[in-house]
Each structure stands twice: as C-alpha cells, then as structure tokens.
Amino acid sequence: MPERFNWQIGRPMAYPYDGPQPERQVAYVFDTNKCIECQTCTVACKTCWTSGKGQETIFWNNVETKPYGGYPLEWDTRLLDQLGPAEWKGKRLASRTIFEQATGKDSDKQPPFGHRPAVEDYAAPNVGEDDITGLVEKGGHFAGVHPIWMFYLARICNHCDNPACLAACPRRAIYKRVEDGIVLVDQERCRGYQECVRACPYKKVFFNVVSRISEKCIGCFPRVENGEVALCVQSCIGKIRMHGFLTTRGEPREDNPLDYIVRIRRLALPLYPQYGTGPNVYYIPPIHVPTRFLEQLFGPGVEQSRRLYRGLAGDRRLLGCLLLFGATDRMITRFDVQGEVAIGWNDAGEEIARVPITEPSWVRDHYDEKYDAYRHNTT
C-alpha cells in the first residue's frame, strides 16, 4: 500500500489510493462554543439538496449533542469501540488508523476499517440526545467550571485529504477534485454497493433507497465555483462557521484565514484525527468540556487551543480573523487586521467583508427630551 504523510497525526501512513494532492483544499472552521443547535444549517442543506424521494432520512449536515448524541446513532462510539482509544506520543499518533488495521477473517476488518449502520440508526436524529451528563443539584450554580456539561457538534462531510469513502469504492466512483479537494460520488457510476457508507468514519455517505445509489455532501460545489460559501455556512445563525481553502502546495499563508486559524495558530482541530482520513472541518473545541473527553475527539491539541481561545481578547489578529465568520456570503481567501477593523478579500482581490474589532456602542440618556420619555434597561 502506498504511504503518505498525514500532518494531523504527525507521521506517514498507509493509504490505498495514490491520488494527486489538490491545488488547494476546501476547508471549514466551526466554533463549537457558538453553536446554538438551531438546525438552520441542517434545514438549509436539506431544502436545497436532499428533499427528494429516497432522501427522507439523509442529512448531509446534522447537528448533534455530545456526549450522547449522534446521527446516525452511535456513528462514532461504535467505531471507537472497535478501534480502541487513540494513543498519542506528543503530536504523533501511536495507534493505528482505519487504513492500517489488519485484514481479518471478519469482513468488517478489511481496510478501511468500518461498520455499516442499520436503517433504524438513521431514523430519529436528535431524539433523546439533548441531555446533560448529570442532574443539577438543588442550589447548584455556575462557579467558573462545569461539572455538568454538553455541547453541540455540527457535522458535514470533511472532504478528507485521504477519503475512506473513495478508498473503499471498488468502482472508483468517488473522486476528489483536483481544483479544490471536494469529494464527490459520481452519480452515473455508483452501483450502490455501500462500501463508502461502511468505510466513512463520519458516516457522511448515505444510501438513497430510491436512486439505489450512494449520495454525499457535495460541498456546495456549484457555489464554491462561484466564490460563494456553502449554504450551511451562509445560513448559520450563530455565525460559527468559516469556509475557505487551505494551502496544499507550499507553506501556509499568514493572510489566508483558514491557514492562519488551522495551520499557523492551531486554534481549530480536526475531528477524530486518529482515523487517519485527514478531515477538513476544523473545530474550535468547547472551552467548558473535560479535556480527556475532548482529546479523544480532537486529538492532542485541545489544551493549547483552549488557551488561545481564552486569550483572544489580547490576540487581535486571531480575534479579527474570527470576527470575519458569517460576515459575508462569499469565500474570503485573504484577510488582514488593520487598526480597529478586520478585512476580507476574495480571489479577485475585491474587498468582501469589513468588520470592526469592537462593535461601536452608544449610551443613551435615561431621559429622552425629544420624546419626553424615560428609557429602561430591560436586559
């Protein structure tokens, strides 16, 4: 099996398909601290792309509540159970990725290592999962730490560097676009074997019972081709998402917001990097959740990321970059923080976003002479 370097696990790894590296890689940053699980993203994606017959239980975008939630049911814990816990030696993964599992007698053990969810696992997203990890005692209050916690995890296809779905397809019906790294299922070529469904650790390829073939998040490629962010990004109420490109050929650029957040500052982390697919949705971990739990999800960078996040107020460039989230419907490929504003430009060099670091605020008098009225502070 050919080998390739996976920077997320700090070492080379076996990957069966020796494809070219894309010219640049579409990527996303999701700030879990800001997500309110309103599911606007889910609905935006579903209305546009998956409201057809056979797509009833298909959600290319879903938002689930951790630690218990998951769609399809137990998508991650089932694989974690089989793989065992990730072991890290510093930033280097010591345990095996899904591509490095031994071929066993059991058909589930053929690499890439995976499992197939059952029909019922797709049937009831979010039902019964919005529970916290314990009961709040009488008189309990927030005292700077959260003994009881939960958080929302918004999930889409990761348009992985080493897609497991692609590697598993015996027909090569899945391909990774060279221009932007978007991973697509060729709808003409797929024969519905569901090998990709089994292989994708994130369970982001779905079987459509009417078309009888597999479908997955298309990364909103028609929008990306027009320089527009994905629908799930554009519609995000919490402005938790940024959509752009990572530099793949050459050094990460300080003025590329994705490079800056992910590669240079390492504020946002990949989800389950131990699987080895090189996922390209990067999460800013929730600051209130125990590190031990988060490290299984996001790898060894959690503490460092949290330190950065807590220190944002004094970190103008990083803060400015985060303020550009949700500031425009177009894809920012270059940014800068100049004085009191963060500015974003697109590929064509047009300014497409300008956001003040500090929102201007006005203090109005208690008594308004013009209207002869008193103002009350209602918050």
Binding mask 285-324 for ligand SF4 (x = CB under 6 A): ----------------------------------------
**Minimum CB distance to ligand SF4 smaller for 32 or for 337:** 32
Query: What is the Cα–Cα distance from 363 to 331, expressed in whole angstroms?
Result: 35
Q: Is 240 one of the binding residues for ligand SF4 (CB under 6 A)? A: yes
Q: Is 242 one of the binding residues for ligand SF4 (CB under 6 A)? A: no
Question: Strand 281-284 and strand 24-31: pairing?
Answer: parallel
**Minimum CB distance to other proteins smaller for 49 or for 272:** 49
Query: What is the Cα–Cα distance from 96 to 360, expressed in whole angstroms?
Result: 51
**Number of amino acids touching ligand SF4 (CB under 6 A):** 40
Residues 105-124 touching other proteins, rule: CB under 8 A, are: 105-107, 110, 116-119, 121-122
**Minimum CB distance to ligand SF4 smaller for 17 or for 337:** 17
**Tokens read off for 151:** 């958080």
Contacts of 288 (CB under 8 A, 6+ apart): 145, 146, 149, 151
Q: At what angle do helices 302-310 and 291-298 cross, to 10 degrees?
A: 110
**Minimum CB distance to ligand SF4 smaller for 166 or for 302:** 166
Q: Is 190 one of the binding residues for ligand SF4 (CB under 6 A)? A: no
Among 89, 92, 171, 310, binds other proteins (CB under 8 A): 171
Contact 276, 83 (CB under 8 A): no
Q: What is the DSSP letter of 195?
A: H
Among 29, 45, 269, 337, binds ligand SF4 (CB under 6 A): 45
Q: Is 88 one of the binding residues for other proteins (CB under 8 A)? A: no
Query: What is the Cα–Cα distance from 318 to 227, expressed in whole angstroms?
Result: 23
Residue burial 253-285, b: 16+ Cβ < 10 Å; e: rest: beebbbbbbbbbbebbbbbbbbbbbbbbbbbbb
Q: Is 207 one of the binding residues for other proteins (CB under 8 A)? A: yes
**Minimum CB distance to other proteins smaller for 68 or for 193:** 193
Residues 11-30 touching ligand SF4, rule: CB under 6 A, are: none
Residues 4-63 touching other proteins, rule: CB under 8 A, are: 49-56
Contact 259, 346 (CB under 8 A): no
55 binding partner (options ligand SF4, other proteins, none; Cβ < 5 to 8 Å by kind): other proteins
Residues 70-129 touching ligand SF4, rule: CB under 6 A, are: none
Binding mask 149-188 for ligand SF4 (x = CB under 6 A): ---x-x-xxxxx--xxx-----------------x-----
Element (H, E) at 283: strand 281-284
Q: Is 49 one of the binding residues for ligand SF4 (CB under 6 A)? A: yes
Residue burial 166-191, b: 16+ Cβ < 10 Å; e: rest: bbbbeeebbbbbeebbbbbbeeeebe
Contact 308, 267 (CB under 8 A): yes
Query: What is the Cα–Cα distance from 297 to 150, expressed in whole angstroms?
Result: 14
Query: What is the Cα–Cα distance from 8 to 93, expressed in whole angstroms?
Result: 9
Query: What is the Cα–Cα distance from 266 to 259, expressed in whole angstroms?
Result: 9
**Number of amino acids touching other proteins (CB under 8 A):** 41
Shortest Å, Cβ 134 to other proteins: 34
**Minimum CB distance to ligand SF4 smaller for 154 or for 337:** 154
Within 10 Å of residue 51's Cβ, how many Cβ atoms?
12
232 binding partner (options ligand SF4, other proteins, none; Cβ < 5 to 8 Å by kind): ligand SF4
* Site residues (vs ligand SF4, CB under 6 A): 35-41, 45, 49, 60-61, 63, 152, 154, 156-160, 163-165, 183, 200, 202, 204-205, 216-220, 230-232, 236-238, 240, 277
* Site residues (vs other proteins, CB under 8 A): 49-56, 105-107, 110, 116-119, 121-122, 168, 170-172, 187-195, 197, 206-213, 215
